[in-house]
Amino acid sequence: MVNFLQDKEYDIIVVGAGPAGLTSALYAGRSGRSCIVLEKFSVGGQLTLIDVIENYPGFKRISGPELANRLEEQVREYNVPIRIEEVTKILDKGERKIVKTVEGEYVGKAVIIATGTKPKQLNVPGEKEFYGRGVSYCALCDGYFFKNKVVAVVGGGDSAVKEAVYLSNLAKKVYIIHRRNSFRAEKEIQKKAFATKNIEILWSTVVTSVNGSNFVESLSLKDLENNREYTLPVDGLFIYVGFSPSTEIFEGVKNEEGFIVVDGNMMTSIPGIFAAGDCMVQFKDRAWGQISVCVGDGAKAAISADEYVSKMFSE
């Protein structure tokens, strides 16, 4: 017997409660559509892991958790329920879509996938073994545990450099380890890192292993320019080497890299199933990894889903 969690069907089901998903829900609610948001972990997605945001329009400076809270409040004003439930599958039944979760099933006329991304791993010895014991992918979550200690941050993009600056206010010493000889991060973020006295940058360097007994004690490094290997004593390692899409459960709508492919209306190759945010790419474009872009994607997906429902189910 099918366990339907509601005795009604929804016009739009949003999978994911990051900035793209919440924006989709906001637009769906404002358009008068019945909508529900299903989120695996916590409302806000990657936003909740960001200490400071300085490039989101309308806010000179705002924390990720605060922005997530504001988005959630806006969505709830339109009586859109947000539930913490893991989605396991989406089935296309023609005019109706079945969204399966660990607790049952939901029925919708349209679905917007906005599941975002997850941190990539270095895949070096010791990384998995010391996860939670010195290895972290979130400075905002775990930085406090390294107060007055020595830590290393791996990466050269916005997240890596920004979080290194954040950690410099807590840790005694912060190393930024980057495989190239220049950063990809925004210039303003780079300036802050270069001006911070307790940040040291190790250019053209990679981590080859994470070492320790019960907790991280050191990193094995390789200088790519001089082909020199050495050991760096540290108490913690924060990894920011990019993100991969959280799209494992979705079939038939992804490219080789796992990103969901959409057209100009944010719709996948399956009519009635849309995607928005970091988990998707439009045509052959790249994923931008910017909150403002995700918000725009979410708005477009909701508008397109609203138009789709009107066209398919008009009396």
Alpha-carbon distance of 234 to 218, in angstroms, equals 5
294 has catalytic annotation: no
| Residue 135 tokens, joined | 């290895």
Residues forming a β-bridge with 112: 14, 274
Where residue 219 falls (left for φ over 0; alpha for ψ -120 to 50; beta otherwise) is: beta
| Residue 122 tokens, joined | 């270095």
Distances (CA, A) of 228 to 5, 150, 225, 237: 59, 22, 8, 21
Question: Are 17 and 82 contacting, i.e. CB atoms less than 8 angstroms apart?
Answer: yes
- Spot the catalytic one: 51, 92, 142, 223: 142
Question: Which residue reads 């529900």 in tokens?
Answer: 36
Instruction: Write the DSSP symbol of residue 248.
Output: T
35 has catalytic annotation: no
Alpha-carbon distance of 37 to 15, in angstroms, equals 6
Distances (CA, A) of 145 to 150, 159, 170, 180, 220: 11, 19, 9, 29, 22
| Residue 88 tokens, joined | 């396991």
Alpha-carbon distance of 231 to 212, in angstroms, equals 12
- Spot the catalytic one: 35, 138, 279, 294: 138
Instruction: Write the DSSP symbol of residue 287.
Output: P
Alpha-carbon distance of 89 to 102, in angstroms, equals 10
**CA geometry: angle 131, 135, 140, nearest 5 deg:** 110
158 has catalytic annotation: no
Q: Could you give the residue numbers annotated as active site?
A: 138, 141-142
